[in-house]
Chain A
Amino acid sequence: MDKKNLILSIETSCDETAAAVIADGHDILANIIFSQIPVHQKFGGVVPEIASRHHLEHLPQVVAEALQMAEVSFSDLDAIAVTYGPGLVGALLVGVAGAKAMAAAQGLPLIGVNHIEGHIYANFLVHPQLQFPLLCLLVSGGHTHLVLLQDHGKYKILGRTRDDAAGEAFDKVARAMGLGYPGGPQIQATAATGNPLGIELPRAWLEPGSLDFSFSGMKSAVLNYLNRAGQKGEVVDKADLAASFQQAVIEILVGKTLTAAKATGVRTVLLAGGVAANQALRQSMTDACNAAGYNFYYPPIELCTDNAAMIGCAAYYKYLRGEFSSQDLNAIPGMALA
């Protein structure tokens, strides 16, 4: 039997310090995540400087745990992969510096991975046999993209947000409603008992046929609703408001994805990114794809939010293509996918 390809991957782009060991691009031998969420909660959002400090403190331990859980040592590895953008520059630099040093010291190839590409590849971790072309809706705290995947590493962005990312809108609305950080899980939990049609909110479809997104108007509508209620001294039904906002966002996301699928003739739709953990979105997209006859895949929840396993998966396909990074690799905070 051939020796398995083993990649150690590192992810420090935001507030999760993560390391994983992936065999042959899909077998997750270890997926360690040290979440800093409790550290940032009192500030109501991620504080870049604090995130960077915590990454440096926890990276060696997280890497050691990943290797230990995978029962491998540095000398068993074929490559070391690291997220080098987009993300918080100070946070990215910790992972990039650590990964470069580890790769050089062990004499291994270094593979720099785009964080967004990693999110998309979470799908290949669980469905390595996916056939191109594919359409992926990528929704996270920083991005809302409709991406056409023509082949491994070949992306075309069909649409993107013109203002807030979907996850960002969730965070801002959650904060305004006093639900805390991170907003996505809070909105979802609060919406569980609410009526999604209880409060009328606008839907921003933009010009006909557009595959771009805009969430700032919908977010503002919620903030205005809260302000008006506050001025009148009315009690807001938070469950209804959260459910109605969630529903409005999901309608746009699902509607635009199906428009894009139709326009491109793609038969298979993927979901990716932190917001892909939202149950109502998963369900709505499943129903819509079933009704329209598209195949629909999404990663398990733990692979939707930031993790290093997805980075290792994307790195595996780069490894196969011989796409390695040199030791002058730098963090690129505003890195684009394509």
Chain B
Amino acid sequence: MEDIKQFPIDAAHAQGAGSQALIDLVAEVTGAVADPPEAIECVYLDTFDWRLYAADSVLEAVRDSRGWALTWSVLGDGRTLGRLRADRCPVFASDIEPAPARARLAATMDIRALMERVRVRLNRQPLARRNDDDKTVVRLALVEGTAVDPETGDEATLSARVTVQPVRGYDKAYDRIVARLTDRFGAAVETGPLMVSALAAIGRTPGDYSSKIRLALARGTPAETALKDVCQTLLRVMERNVDGVLADTDSEFLHDFRVAVRRTRTALTQAKGVFPEAMRRRFADDFRWLGQLTGPKRDLDVFRLDVPGYQDRLPDDQAGALAPFQDFLDRRAQAALADLARALRSERYRRLVADWRDMLHSPTPPVDPPPEAHTPIERLAARRIARAHKRVIKDGRRIDAQSPPEALHDLRKDAKKLRYQLEFFRSLFDADDVKTTVKALKQLQAVLGTYQDSAVQREALMAFGRAMTAETSPPPETLMALGTLTATLEDRQADARAHFAERFATFDTPDVADRIAHMSRDADAAAKPPAPPPDRPPRAAGSKADKKAMRTAAASKAKSETKAGKDKADKTNKTEKSKKPKKAGKAKTGGRR
């Protein structure tokens, strides 16, 4: 199917797209007939992280007398994926009336909420080219309009244009009309879909947020500068999510916020000897505080997301038994959100962010800089990654069937730290080395995550059961259903434990060890003066330099590939991370402080 073609109307014809002269002109050129004009006000919806856009689609909402009419269509050719209705402008798929397309839309959004991304007011003059049966064979329209930023209310004009849309099975008529319009108005332009041009008009780019770290660090950058870069990126993620956290738009704002906090804490650990120690400690303390205060709400969010899945796992005669539990969680989540909001509006938080930003933008102290401040980042990174890898291997090898749960929990934290460092610094190393290591590590993290999460959720379920009984005396069915779930979680935990050795073995391999060692050699080679002594055969140094060039090329290629596969990767990432009741577990299993 061919795309919708768009022809900009140049100044000579721009008496306004609604003018009769222009309509007549287009009708004369194309042989199309004007239908009644339309004034359209629509809103483009997408999730905060642009999941619909990433899936090559747009969702347009128009308010009418019966509520909201939604059109979900393909970004490129405008083909309709589904027409849907809702009583209010939808936030979640459950706000939309049931229809075949709803399930597909829900799968694309996953657990994220829809938000208004841009509003558009359009004056649209439709025209149809019809054949001798009075059948429409090509659709045209003259369009002009205004884009409105939903956050600020700022307005921007959209340039007038003629759009041409083919009808399936009538390609020849479409080709003829495109040719005639090209003769008259010049070549069609790639202005892209209306949503994209409307977003551009208000200064936004679709896909401008991702929770993934996409940092391009340059080799030779002083460690201090590079770590500040990493932390600035993470601070931006935190700040972009904070409104959504406070509004509780969906669970993922807080999730992304927390991950950014946790990554910042890992970065601060890396900053030992790079940032001035007293300051580093102060921020490490503050970010630990921040991590802790987001915990209770997140734990409840995880449960709330899981309840429908739990319900499915229960036998039919216990259907509905979890409703009181859901209510209980909702009440608790409200209270937890209020606490969190108070903290995020507190003086301590405000000062933390302000001081942190100042610190990240201030120059290196010229006198007496910390010992590692000027170390090239790749060397520091390689060293720290090697150390984190060693630690995972050492701790992991000690684990046997008799090891206490804490041992697995500590290993999980070791693995997470290694993973974050690989993500921060991936642009500095051979893309293949990083990819292979991360892939093996992910498998290990998955099994450790399941193990730990099942344990924590089981304990939390029991605690909730007790709290509910004390508060509301729930029906026995509810408590029994919680009991059934506790048993399921116990099985899941045992299962994860049984698979641990096998998963650890896929990470504890000579190949992964080689990759890590290679990163170090690579970083050392880059830091050494490149010219070989003239009396020695140039093989070693020359080949190293070549290799490095090749690797840098490979790295940047891989980066663009990563970007393309971002949606998928994001999703995998989410599922893996979405079940993460961290803090409760930490306290109970005596995690490192």
Whether chain B is bound by chain A comes out as no
